[in-house]
Amino acid sequence: MACAAVIVASGSSRRMGFDKLSAELHGKPVLAHTVAAFMRAEGISRVVVVCPPERFELLEAEDFLKPLERVDGGEHRHQSVANGLAVLDEEELVAVHDGARPLVRPEAIDQCIEAARKYGAATLARAVTDTLKKGDAEGFSRSPVDRTNLWAMETPQIFRTSLLRHAYAGILERQTIPTDEVSVVEAMGVSTKLVVSEFPNPKITVPADIALATALMR
């Protein structure tokens, strides 16, 4: 099963205060590291980056060996993913990934692809190990939350392309705004296989995350 990657990189970086995807990590932009990981993954045949033209220019200095193309994003993340899905053709699987997760490992991508081939839907995820509390409106801790079987979703999230397209058709018709693709297919009653994320795969959201990612890359 051929697997294409749709890398979502069209956000405005409002919480960052500057374009986080152009921020430098070890001499290269964040987005370049992200795309390079998918280029090195054996199971990926093609990469589609959903982003504005000026952000795609960050990749011009790279010598990638697999097909790479750009499509415009939408107002919301799920609309950007739908735009990426629209340009796929013969690929039976699609891996959706946040452009702001540059530390994802090619081996982890391939593990997730294998799980998706077997189960039809798979995602990298991390078991919740922190103590969780439910707070009140005033910001005080009020009660514990049982973390048994709780998982934090990461990306890539990989699905049979036909499944995700069908699920997205329902989401766009209902005009709901999902937070990730696992939620999109769950709305159809489809479960997603959880693949343990064994190495740090943080999403860069605030300036401190750049320092963290730099330290992890060392």
Task: Quote the CA–CA distance of 118 and 112 in Å, as a whole number.
Answer: 10
Q: Which domain holds residue 139?
A: 3-217
Handedness of CA 23, 26, 29, 35 (dihedral sign): negative
Task: Quote the CA–CA distance of 118 and 33 in Å, as a whole number.
Answer: 28
Domain count, the chain: 1
Q: What is the CATH number of the domain that holds 211?
A: 3.90.550.10
pLDDT (tens, 9 = 90+) of the chain, 218 residues, equals 899 999 999 987 666 667 899 999 989 999 999 999 999 999 999 999 999 999 999 999 899 999 999 999 999 999 999 999 999 988 999 999 999 999 999 999 999 999 999 999 999 999 999 999 999 999 999 999 999 999 999 999 999 999 999 999 988 888 888 999 999 999 999 999 999 999 999 999 988 999 999 999 88
Quote the pTM value: 0.94
